[in-house]
Structure 1
Amino acid sequence: MVIATLGEVVAIYRSRAALDPARVAKRAGISIAQYLALEQGTAWPGTEVVEAVIKALQIPDSQRARLAAAGPLDQHLQSMLHRYDIPSLIVDSSWRIVEANSFARALLPDSARAGWNLMRWILFDSEARRRLANWDDVARSFSALLRDSVTAAPRNTELRAIWDTAAHLELAAAPSPTYCSESQVLVWRTDSGPYPISACLMTVPSERPDLRQVTFVPRNTHLAPVLMARGADPAPWYRPLLSDLLTCGLCGLLLTGGGQPASYNCATGCLPALRAEELEIRVAKEALARAFPAQACRELGVAQEILTAEGIDLELNVPVSAKHALDQWRRSMTDTQRRGLLTATLRSATVYPTLLPSGYPGVDLAYSWRELA
């Protein structure tokens, strides 16, 4: 007889032992719903549950090796995971790796090892301390997650072992009503260039409450600190700020800038001459509002602390709001910094003629923005 799935093996050994599902669940120390999910193949109840059932039914090692179990992830969940173009992995209730996409493998090469544990890596691995510039903050956040996991599964031996080690190293978190894992920022050290910043997003896959999907969502907030760092500016910018960014909405030509007083003009005369100072401030307000929402400003604050701790001085403090950024634009930024922030957020702006409420001619702007992670 060829046995195809783990559920079939479990059902046969239960029948041989003349046990009903409730009795097996009681012997294994699990709920009957968890047992039925395993036997009927409706959900993966977790590695610990499988091991407990195998032990309760005394399934021999020789039989376990012959199993052709499909694994904990169905094809839909695997397909979703591998379609992401950012690092994403799935862990079980003990934080052991279940599956990871190629981007996660590149970010965390050790995750390819069987039994690799994300919680252990964050809290105890020296490589995590080296890679994460804000390791102390990340470790506090993950130790709070560990505390929650132990509370939810107090009989999980692997979680208890991790908790005991964390407590010995004084990493175990005390209860905190202000703890929020969804806002955790990770700053990854690199050998050169700006440090990539990501936010750690944790979700529970549909119909799989025993698993966690951990996704590292890139944040583009490193652009502002790098532009504001001493000696880190790109090549100095001496041309009009909106050069190559403005297009006439009537003829499609790029607007040219220059002259005294400085203005932007359409070569065919479709538009009136546009005062450069007024137009640049108008575009800057829109670009800075997009570049510096409240969450981005909070992450920039973290980035500034990390860069300062690494010995990188900033010519300007990162802004605490879009309004603060506009004030820096007017008072403190160089044209090189202004141009860098514009091109980081704006692809182009199309200018159309219009009549102002006063009856005088004016212009409307239609923006094409870059996607910000």
Structure 2
Amino acid sequence: MTDPIPLRPRAATSASAFGDLLRDWRQRRRYSQLALSLTADVSARHLSFLESGRSQPSRAMVLQLAECLDMPFEARNAMLTAAGFASLYERTPLGAEHLEPIREALTRMMHAHSPAPSLIFDTYWRVVDANPAGALLMGGTWEPGMCLVDRLVDDAALRAPILNWPDVAAVLMNRLRSESRQAGGDSQLEALADKLAPHAADPLALSAHGAIMTLRYATPHGELALFTMVAELSSARDLTLRDLRLEIFFPADAESRALLGKLAPVKD
């Protein structure tokens, strides 16, 4: 399993760095000073002083405000640093010895899901690992760190078997934009969504496709219908682990289940 590429936290550079970041994130989350002060159980006056740089926060106050603003962990590190404190959340190489049980669990889940596809990627859809069926969906070959969105958009041959590509592109585009909003605005996620936009069907029309959108994938032996679920390490405090996603594909009908067994049989 290959380490995801590190992400760079956003940082402020003005004299009141903490105040600038606090105001920025408060506005991103659409809080007034009064609303945030009530949520964080701090006086509106003190919050105003923190934003203006007239008061300096304690470490506990930084973390309390960051929690109320539901900030990503990298942004919380930036807030702590701006306030003069050490970062709280580390980014450990995925190959680190103490992460072996987590690597083993992810790999076990991914391969136990065969013959259905499964792959592991990071926040920006850079592939970390894949089982044999997952590799088939990527054209049979892939390189660690390859961005799957970039490859799908740039390689017409790779996306050609996806019979409902406009629907898939629309769902993925919406997912990227939603994740960007949760992150408070992420230029890399927005750039990936923008790349998909010319390929995407009208998102408002997707509701006509039933209870769940399925990926319809053409193979030499017939058509696969697949839907996906995403697993995350929701309790992770390490930034590398928080970035990881395990995408698991399931057959949407009996025909697809039988076809998967022919395409990527489970090896003893």
Q: TM-score, normalised by structure 2?
A: 0.50
Please name the residue that 1:31 is paired with. Answer: 76
Distance 2:212 2:151 in 1: 20
Compared CA separation, residues 190 and 110, structure 1 to 2 (3 A): closer
Please name the residue that 2:251 is paired with. Answer: 218
Shift of 1:222: 4.0
Please name the residue that 1:159 is paired with. Answer: 189
User: Alignment partner of 2:108: what SS?
Assistant: helix
Please name the residue that 2:224 is paired with. Answer: 196
Shift of 1:145: 0.9
RMSD: 4.1
Contact 2:225–2:253 (CA<8 Å) still a contact in 1? yes
Which structure is higher in helix share? Answer: 2
1:38 alignment partner AA: E
Aligned residues: 172
2:124 matches 1:80:
no
Identity of aligned residues (%): 24
User: Alignment partner of 1:104: what SS?
Assistant: helix
Instruction: Please give the residue correspondences for 1:83-162 in structure 2 after superposition, counting only pairs within 5 Å.
Output: 83-85=112-114, 86-109=116-139, 112-154=142-184, 156-162=186-192
User: Alignment partner of 1:95: what SS?
Assistant: coil
1:101 alignment partner AA: N
Contact 1:96–1:116 (CA<8 Å) still a contact in 2? yes
Compared CA separation, residues 206 and 119, structure 1 to 2 (3 A): same
Gaps of 5+ in 2: 1-58, 63-72, 81-85, 237-241, 257-268
Shift of 1:177: 10
Compared CA separation, residues 123 and 149, structure 1 to 2 (3 A): farther
Shift of 1:111: 5.9
2:188 alignment partner AA: E
Instruction: Please give the residue correspondences for 1:232-311 in structure 2 after superposition, counting only pairs within 5 Å.
Output: none
Contact 1:141–1:181 (CA<8 Å) still a contact in 2? no
Shift of 1:104: 1.1
Contact 1:144–1:172 (CA<8 Å) still a contact in 2? no
Shift of 1:146: 1.6
Contact 2:170–2:196 (CA<8 Å) still a contact in 1? no
User: Alignment partner of 2:228: what SS?
Assistant: strand
Distance 2:202 2:183 in 1: 17
1:214-252 Cα deviation digits (max 9, x unpaired)? 1111233548xxxxxxxxxxxxxxxxxxxxxxxxxxxxx
Contact 2:167–2:201 (CA<8 Å) still a contact in 1? no
Gaps of 5+ in 1: 1-21, 45-67, 224-373
Q: Indicate the structure (1 or 2) with the bigger Cα radius of gyration.
A: 1
User: Alignment partner of 1:144: what SS?
Assistant: helix
Contact 1:147–1:172 (CA<8 Å) still a contact in 2? no
Shift of 1:90: 1.5
User: Alignment partner of 2:160: what SS?
Assistant: helix
